[in-house]
Chains A and B, each alone.
Chain A
Amino acid sequence: MSTTTLPAAPAAPAVPPKVETPFRRFVSEFAESKIALGGLIVFTLIALIAIFAPWISPQNPYDLAQLDIMDGRMEPGTVGGDGFTFWLGTDDQGRDMLSGIMYGLRISLTVGAGSALIACLVGASLGLLAAYAGGKTDSAIMRLVDLQLSFPAILAALMILAFLGKSVTNVVIALVIVEWAYYARTVRGTALVERRREYIEAAQCLALPTRRILFRHLLPNCLPPLIVVGTMQVARAIALEATLSFLGLGVPITEPSLGLLIANGYEYMLSGKYWISFYPGIALLITIVSINLVGDQLRDVLNPRLKK
């Protein structure tokens, strides 16, 4: 997947100027879908906002000194007591919704991406182990995968949080537990195919240690499907975290994610103060849709190559 695997030949004037590396081809195939490209751009923007929220947000919504309860529940566009314009309105604490959303994105993305990453590590390792060890280990791991997948994620996560209590860490743990199985299944499937290929046999003949075979030879080949599953799972994790937080079982009130922001606006919804829930929801929606668009295209681009 990187340009280093196929060093670009020195460009002679006679040959076409662009050398087809797998990476280049991947990029140009991905860019074929304008919608996916748009998704990628939007997602990059969102990620940047999340990363730089403390520097670019108009207000620090968790610095109580900056909040004025008199500014509570103001409509979008109102100018507050100190001449500050609340473009997306304020919540009941007088917090600027725009700033709240920027900080919320930060937490949602951290939890979503973090849990997806850990789940990927755990799942991929177990999947590789299953594929490589085979026999009892394999069937034990796959039984667990089947069991996990047959149980709806939301319920499993609810139960885990019910037993563990709520905190950001516990949310991540719950998300990892409900998501690792997808990675394990994907990696095992690919690894089983790759395992039969010659180079693994060659590596085994060279008596390389198992660990080395696993991580240097098998894993790189499992990467494309992992990337696809991973992208989709990040979106899922973000949505699931938001749902858990909405139900009051996710992140604590001190670290509000988008889901919690939406939940906070719930009670004001009925009195027509829609913006407290509406805008965080839009932010959540845009995030999830953009990730899904990228994931859809990744799947289309990476899949045919897997079949070859």
Chain B
Amino acid sequence: MTAASISASPISAAPTLEVRNLQTHFFTRAGVVKAVDGVSFTVPRGKVLGLVGESGSGKTVTGFSIIGLVDPPGRIVGGEILYQGKNLASLSEEEMRHLRGNRIAMIFQDPMMTLNPVLRIDTQMIETVRAHTKVSHEEARQRARDTLGMVGIPSPDERLKSYPHQFSGGMRQRVAIAIALLHRPELIVADEPTTALDVTIQGQILAEVQKLAATTGTSLIWITHDLSVVAGLADEIAVMYAGRVVEHGLVEQVLDRPLHPYTAGLIGSVPSRNKRGEPLRQIPGMTPSLLSLPAGCAFRSRCPRAGEECGIEPPIREILPGRDARCHRPILEAAEVASA
């Protein structure tokens, strides 16, 4: 990761990962749940992509699709996940396993649940090192200790011998992050890693991750439903709604001037954006059931701009240079943002 590649324009540089029209469906007894149904985005080298959306919009399923951990009854049914010119969706399980935790790592939402309660931290770290590189136990332990130090865990030698329940939530998440960093991956999928933590810890971890990503040249997909986190951390943003990416672009541009009514609604509901005394704005209505999405635009029933043509499903298209959105009637006037 040279400085040049980091400073290069994110859109033009060869991306670390490119997701094209990903479709991951769950074949349940009640019917087919189209949890992810048309997700496209790119993750530029050394940059952070914020993946935002309401609960149930398919962010986690997207993350699991990327690392190839969608379990039955779920299955990737379409689209491509391009990494170094290979389509991850078509790799064999064994080939995928060699990438997982090695070139592409994932951090989970709930730090209390991600570490195995009956195994010591050193076991859980060393096994990760040795799963991908032939090193001695001692070398692996050395690497584990260094990485723990990197994520800000004091006296890592001692802590290595502890069990997860001896750590606080924040510390556990640091351990999980350290495990993700062990092999200096090119991409980390972080699934709301700070949501379960309190705000100060959250801030610390964010700052550290940002620093680490910059120094190691790692790209990040940061899944969250907190726009303020995205604003502070991400370079690009992809907004998901009902299993689809509805808007994708550079963070400042999207947050300053959202094109999709849903994005605008999300921005409008962030507390800091509301004036004091004004009631908190919310997007009216509820996420539609993924089992039976209505025809046309999935956001139609909640959309203030919906019109006749919205009965036909809008394709994702480049509306402004470098700005994609999935909407027939994107917000093009700056003044419209406030009224959305």
Direct contact, A vs B (beta carbon within 8 Å): no
The residues of A with any CB-CB pair to B shorter than 8 Å are none
The residues of B with any CB-CB pair to A shorter than 8 Å are none
